[in-house]
Structure 1
Amino acid sequence: MTPTVETYRFESRDPAIIGNFLATTYDTHLRIRSGDGGYRLVHQHVDAGSFALATTGQSAHLDIAADGIDALVVARSRTARVERSCDRSANRFGAGDVYLAAKPGLPYTLRWHPGEVELCVLNLAVLAQVANTAPARRPGRVAFTDLGPAAPALARQWRDTIRYVNEVVSNNPIISAQPLVIGNAARLLAAAALTAFPNTAVTDPTIEDRRDASTATLRRAIAFMDGNADRDVSAADIAAAANVSLRAVQLAFRRHLGTTPMAYLRRIRLDRAHHDLLRADPREATVSAIARRWGFASHSRFTARYQASYGVPPSATVNA
C-alpha cells in the first residue's frame, strides 16, 4: 500500500486549543501552564505513519506535565532552553542539544522557555524491527537506560540523520510517496536512535543463533529477498521468512557473504534498477523515477553506487 505522508501547520494563541491539539497529536494527556496566561504556538508537522517530524516554537515560559507517550520522541533544541524531568532524572538543555523527551510510556514534566524545538516521533514497532531477537527469546520492547546521547559524536550523527530524512520526506513529495523510501527512512531513524541513546537492545548472537547461521538459512533468506525486493521489507521480515532469529540471519550473511541482509537487499534492488534502466525508453523514463521505485531517495548516492557497480553513470545506461 502506498504510504500517505501528511504535512500540516498549526498556529494558535488560545491555550485551550493548543493543549487539545498537542494532546491529540501526541496521544497523551497534557497539563500546560504559562507564566503570563497567554502565548503563541506554531507547529509544523510531517506525518509518515511509522514516524513523524515536527518543529514547534512558542513565545512563553511553559510548565508542561504529560502522562507519557507510547512512542520514542527524540528532541533537539533549536533555540529554546528546556528543563525536563523523567524517571528520577532531571536535565537542562540548550540550543543544539539532542535528547529523548522521555522514556516511552513514562510520565514527565518540562519547563519550556521561549524558542523552537525539533521533534522526531518514532513508532516503537520500528524500533522492534531493527532491534528484536527471536520470538522465543524476545526480552520485550527496548528500554532506554539514559535520556541523553552516549557521546557527542553520536548526537552529531543523529543530527545528520534527521537532516537527511527531513530533506527526503519534507522537501520531496514524489520521493516520499514511495513505500521503500519511507520504510528505509524509518529504519534509518530507528538505527540512529538505538546507536545514539543507551538501551537494552540485545545484539550478541546466542548459541542457537550461531547454529542457525547456516547456508540453508542464507538460501531461504535470499529466495525471500528475490521474491519481495519491490516490497518494504525489514531485516526482521527476512529472518521470519528464513524461520530463524534476526541475529542468526545477520550472522549468516556476515559469515558466508561478508555483508548484512539489508546491504544484500540493496544490491538486489540496484540490480533491478539496472534492469529497468536497460529496458527504459529515454523519452519517457527518468533515472530518478526508476531509482525511487527501488528505494533510492538520493539521486547523487544512487548515481555513485550505480557507477561503482557498473562502471558508468545510470544516465549512460538509459540513453545507450
Structure 2
Amino acid sequence: MTLQLQYEFTSDLPLGRWFIGHMRGGRALFRTGPEEVRVPPGDVFVLNQPDACLGGAVADAVIDFAVLEPGLLHEVAQNASTEPGPVRILASHPVSGVVGGRWARTLAVARDLVTSPLALKSDLFTAQVSRLVAAATLETFPNTAMGDTGIADRRDAHPATLRRAVAFIEANPQNDVSVADIDRATRTSVRMVQLAFRRYLNTTLMRYLQQVRLHQASDELRVASPGGPVTVTSVAARWGFSTPARFSLLYRQEFGLTPVQTLRGEHPPLPVR
C-alpha cells in the first residue's frame, strides 16, 4: 500500500494490525497514546500499537506500508516471547539504520512478488511472502521475542512432541502451515516444539518444514519431463518459495545440484531424510 496525501487525522478505534512504514518522501508526525513519532524522508518506522488509537498529521507524504496481523509476528518468531500473547514491537524505529534500509528493500521485493502472476496462482506463495516481511520486521525492530527457555520447558520437550510435529508437517507440506498450527497439532507450547527440534534433530521447526518442501519439490522435478509444463519457477511457487533464485540456492544446499539439473535427469541419488 502506498499513500501520497496531506491531512491530519485521529482514529476512534485501534487499527488492530501492525502498520510498518517506509517514508519515501514528505514528512509525518504520528501519535499512539502518549508517544509522538516524527518521521523524516527515508525513515523506516512502526506507525502504531495494534491495540491503541492513532492520530497524527502528514504533509506531501509518500509512504509504503506493510500491514501485519499481530499473530503473524508470533508465528514466525523462532523463539517464545518475554510476555504472554503475541510478540510485541517495543520501539518505533529500527535498531540501526542499516537494518532499516534492509527492511525497506525487503518490502520493495515483497511488493513486486505479491503483484506477480505467481502470487495469483498460489496462496502458499503469498503466505510465504507475508512471513518474509514479518521475519524481516522481527530482525529490524526491538521486540519481545527471546531465545531463552525455562526449566519446565526443558523438562517437557519430549521425543513424543517431536514425533507428533514431524507427522503433522509431513502430512501437510502443501498447506500454509504455521507454528501455531503445529502447536495445536502437538498439543504443546510453541516453546516445547522448538526445543524438541533443536535438541533431537539439531534444526529448527521451520527449517525442517522447509526441508520437507524441498524434498517434495525434488520429487516433482524428478518425475517431470524436460520441456513439459512443469518448470522450476512453477514448482518453486507451488511449494512456497518466495523466488526461484532463493529456491535454487536452498535446493543446491540440500541436494548438491540445481533444480534445473534435476529436471533434466542429472540428479545423483538423494540423501535419506
2:24 to 78, 83, 96: 78
Partner Cα separation in structure 2 for residue 312 and residue 113 of structure 1: 52
1:286 to 220, 225, 231: 231
**Is 2:166 the counterpart of 1:230?**
no
C-alpha spacing 1:241/1:99, structure 2 compared with 1 (3 Å): same
RMSD: 2.3
C-alpha spacing 1:231/1:75, structure 2 compared with 1 (3 Å): same
C-alpha spacing 1:118/1:291, structure 2 compared with 1 (3 Å): same
C-alpha spacing 1:142/1:263, structure 2 compared with 1 (3 Å): closer
**Residue number in structure 1 paired with 2:246:** 301
**Is 2:125 the counterpart of 1:181?**
yes
Using the size of structure 1 for normalisation, the TM-score is: 0.75
1:83-232 alignment, distance < 5 Å: 83-131=29-77, 139-170=84-115, 172-201=116-145, 203-232=147-176
Identity %: 35
The unaligned stretches of length 5 or more in structure 2 are: 266-273
Secondary structure at the counterpart of residue 242 of structure 2 = coil
Q: 1:222-280 CA deviation, whole Å, 9 max, x = no partner? A: 11111111111012212222222111111111122221111111111100111111111
The unaligned stretches of length 5 or more in structure 1 are: 1-53
CA contact (8 A) 2:28 2:61 kept: no
How far is the alpha carbon of 1:299 from its aligned partner?
A: 0.9
**Residue number in structure 2 paired with 1:25:** none
Secondary structure at the counterpart of residue 2 of structure 2 = strand
How far is the alpha carbon of 1:176 from its aligned partner?
A: 4.6
Partner Cα separation in structure 2 for residue 155 and residue 219 of structure 1: 39
Secondary structure at the counterpart of residue 25 of structure 2 = coil
More relative contact order in 1 or in 2 (CA 8 Å, sep 6+)?
2
**Residue number in structure 2 paired with 1:314:** 259
**Residue number in structure 1 paired with 2:3:** 56
C-alpha spacing 1:157/1:214, structure 2 compared with 1 (3 Å): farther
**Is 2:192 the counterpart of 1:248?**
yes
From the CA coordinates, give the structure whose radius of gyration is larger: 1
Q: Which amino acid aligns with 2:48?
A: A
CA contact (8 A) 2:129 2:242 kept: no
Using the size of structure 2 for normalisation, the TM-score is: 0.87
Q: How many residues align?
A: 262
Q: Which amino acid aligns with 2:210?
A: R
Partner Cα separation in structure 2 for residue 132 and residue 301 of structure 1: 20
C-alpha spacing 1:141/1:294, structure 2 compared with 1 (3 Å): closer
Secondary structure at the counterpart of residue 42 of structure 2 = coil
Partner Cα separation in structure 2 for residue 315 and residue 86 of structure 1: 50
Secondary structure at the counterpart of residue 207 of structure 2 = helix
**Residue number in structure 1 paired with 2:219:** 275
Q: Which amino acid aligns with 2:75?
A: Q
CA contact (8 A) 1:82 1:92 kept: yes
C-alpha spacing 1:70/1:63, structure 2 compared with 1 (3 Å): same
Partner Cα separation in structure 2 for residue 254 and residue 133 of structure 1: 11
Of residues 177-186 and 229-238 in structure 1, the stretch that sits farther from structure 2 once superposed is: 177-186
C-alpha spacing 1:198/1:306, structure 2 compared with 1 (3 Å): closer
**Residue number in structure 1 paired with 2:269:** none
Partner Cα separation in structure 2 for residue 288 and residue 88 of structure 1: 48
CA contact (8 A) 2:83 2:144 kept: no
